[in-house]
Amino acid sequence: MKIVVLKFGGTSVGTVERIKKVANIIISYIKKRYKVIVVSSAMSGVTNDLAKKSKKISNNFIASEYDVLVSSGEQMSCALIAGRLNHLGYKAQSWMGWQVPIFTEGNHSSSRISQINKKKINKFLQSGGIPIITGFQGINLNNRITTLGRGGSDASAIMCAKFFKAQKCIIYTDVDGVYTSDPNTLKKAKKIKVISYEEMLEMASLGAKVMQPASLQDARLNRIDIDVKSSFTNKEGTLITKKKNIYSNKNIRGVSFTKNDAKVTLVGVKDKPGVAASVFKPFYQNYINVDMVVQTSSGNKEETDITFTIKSDDLLKTLKFIKQNKKIKYRDLIVNKNVSKVSIVGVGMITTPGVTYRMFQTLANKGINILVIATSEIKISVLIGKKFVKKAISALHKEFKLDN
């Protein structure tokens, strides 16, 4: 069978009128003689509303019931899509994760798909049917509903493409592809026609909201090419694929930034083996993600300063764990919430000398001070004052000829 997996995000199915357009998109692939598997998110705003209801019921809503609750939004959107397709004369049926079934492993609200039973869906496809599968969910070994984390419908689509050996996996969203920077902030941002998994992973982790990072990792590991397109236009989107499929004369592919960072510095920490582990252990135990980390020697050779960044939402918890931590002593605790991380991303920088210098000099020319630096093979990130973000991304976009 020539199978295509079509995934529709929350904005794409956000209203009845949009669901009607989604049905027409699905039919267009049927007319091209594809067997179509549809994966749908909940209608935009529904999952957030359900989460708010759980908080009104309890501040400690039980995790297993939370997954049952928030996964119900996909059931509604899938039924509406199936209903519209049947109205138009096509055989369609909604499928909950447990009906397929889609098996998951891991904790509630952050599970990963381990196996998909193909038998029922294949039989339905062969009979001419269009299965509309709920994204974001599955069942564990105890037959309890589990969810895959926010944005998890992308993971559902990618794993469907893997297990059903689909020729295409197309993610329909409210943007018409991946851009060199946020087009809402930088008008000169350009659409990228083809981007590697690695570059897209970096850009997603740096704030590009096109796809969930964990889903991109699934695509990379399973070598599933992804087309990102808009359900609102007929424009060509962006293909996410492996590095060797990309031919580009640009060593930098994008400039990303984050808006919700906080910088924490512990001044005068005892400089001895294990001190950094003692600082960060409570964050690990409480699922607080630490990003940029710098350790510097202070004037006193027996002391060191440790600086790191976290999401602003985690700041209060982080400060609480630092103050409760009896294993560390420090002279001062400095917090800066007016910071943002700006990054350049590109697989080409590995083989291109001078990229680091050009980035730093460009920022210096604009009078922008760098607070923290972090690098990887395909990314250079700097922490700067939040008020300089727009000036920084505009200058870097121009320096690396992304305007063209």
Are residues 268 and 151 part of one domain? Answer: no
Of 382 and 296, the one with more pLDDT: 382
- pLDDT reported for residue 364: 97
Are residues 44 and 136 part of one domain? Answer: yes
Q: Is residue 5 classed exposed, middle or buried when 0-12, 13-18 and 19+ CB atoms within 10 A define those classes?
A: buried
* Boundaries of domain holding 359: 257-399
Can you tell me the distance from the alpha carbon of 39 to that of 373, in angstroms, rounded to the nearest whole number? 40
pLDDT at 212 over 90: no
Q: Output the domain CATH number for residue 149.
A: 3.40.1160.10
Are residues 267 and 168 part of one domain? Answer: no
CB-CB contact of 200 with 211 (8 Å): yes
Q: What confidence tens digit (pLDDT) does each residue in 70-120 have? A: 999 999 999 999 999 999 999 999 999 999 999 999 999 999 999 999 999
Q: Output the domain CATH number for residue 364.
A: 3.30.2130.10
Can you tell me the distance from the alpha carbon of 342 to that of 182, in angstroms, rounded to the nearest whole number? 12
- pLDDT reported for residue 298: 62
Are residues 380 and 280 part of one domain? Answer: yes
Total number of domains constituting the chain: 2
What is the model's pTM? Answer: 0.84
In the listed set 121, 145, 174, which residue is the last one of a domain according to the structure? 174
Assign 287 a pLDDT band (cuts: 50, 70, 90): confident
pLDDT at 206 over 80: no
CB-CB contact of 168 with 4 (8 Å): yes
Of 43-52, 78-87, 263-272, the poorest mean pLDDT is in: 263-272
Q: Please, which residues bridge with residue 191 across strands?
A: 179
Does a structural domain hold residue 202? Answer: no
pLDDT at 203 over 80: yes
Can you tell me the distance from the alpha carbon of 130 to that of 110, in angstroms, rounded to the nearest whole number? 28
Does a structural domain hold residue 368? Answer: yes
pLDDT at 207 over 80: no
Determine the straight-line distance between the first and last CA of the chain, rounded to whole angstroms.
Answer: 42
- pLDDT reported for residue 247: 66
Q: Please, which residues bridge with residue 38 across strands?
A: 6, 132
CB-CB contact of 246 with 192 (8 Å): no
Are residues 170 and 24 part of one domain? Answer: yes
CB atoms within 10 A of CB 295: 15
Does a structural domain hold residue 349? Answer: yes
Q: Please, which residues bridge with residue 226 across strands?
A: 240
Query: 219: closest CA among 183, 168, 291, 143?
Result: 168
CB-CB contact of 15 with 27 (8 Å): no
Are residues 166 and 25 part of one domain? Answer: yes
Kindly state the percentage of the chain with pLDDT values over 70.
98
Q: Which range is most confident: 64-78, 231-245, 283-297?
A: 64-78
pLDDT at 362 over 90: yes
**Tokens 């009078």 sit on residue:** 367
Does a structural domain hold residue 230? Answer: no
Are residues 47 and 140 part of one domain? Answer: yes
Averaged pLDDT of the chain: 93
Assign 388 a pLDDT band (cuts: 50, 70, 90): very high
Are residues 155 and 264 part of one domain? Answer: no
pLDDT at 301 over 80: no
Does a structural domain hold residue 210? Answer: no
- pLDDT reported for residue 248: 67
Phi, psi torsion values for 308, nearest 5 degrees: -150, 165
Report the half-sphere exposure of 87 (CA within 13 A, side-chain side): 10
pLDDT at 368 over 70: yes
Does a structural domain hold residue 390? Answer: yes
Does a structural domain hold residue 73? Answer: yes
Are residues 294 and 395 part of one domain? Answer: yes
Does a structural domain hold residue 86? Answer: yes
Can you tell me the distance from the alpha carbon of 181 to that of 30, in angstroms, rounded to the nearest whole number? 35
SS (H, E, C) the chain: CCEEEEEECCCCCCCHHHHHHHHHHHHHHHHCCCEEEEEECCCCCHHHHHHHHHHHHCCCCCHHHHHHHHCHHHHHHHHHHHHHHHHCCCCEEEECCCCCCEEEECCCCCCEEEEECCHHHHHHHHCCCEEEEECCEEECCCCCEEECCCCHHHHHHHHHHHHCCCCEEEEEECCCCEECCCCCCCCCCCEECEEEHHHHHHHHHCCCCCCCHHHHHHHHHHCCCEEEEECCCCCCCEEEECHHHCCCCCCCCEEEECCCEEEEEEEEEECCCCHHHHHHHHHHHCCCCCCCEEEEECCCCCEEEEEEEEEHHHHHHHHHHHHHCCCCCCCEEEEEEEEEEEEEECHHHHHCCCHHHHHHHHHHHCCCCCCEEEEECCEEEEEEEHHHHHHHHHHHHHHCCCCC
Q: What confidence tens digit (pLDDT) does each residue in 303-347 have? A: 899 999 999 999 999 999 999 998 899 999 999 999 999 999 998
In the listed set 155, 174, 193, which residue is the last one of a domain according to the structure? 174
In the listed set 174, 209, 224, which residue is the last one of a domain according to the structure? 174
CB atoms within 10 A of CB 123: 10
- pLDDT reported for residue 217: 87
pLDDT at 300 over 70: no
Taking only Cα atoms into account, the Rg of the chain, rounded to an integer number of angstroms, comes to 23
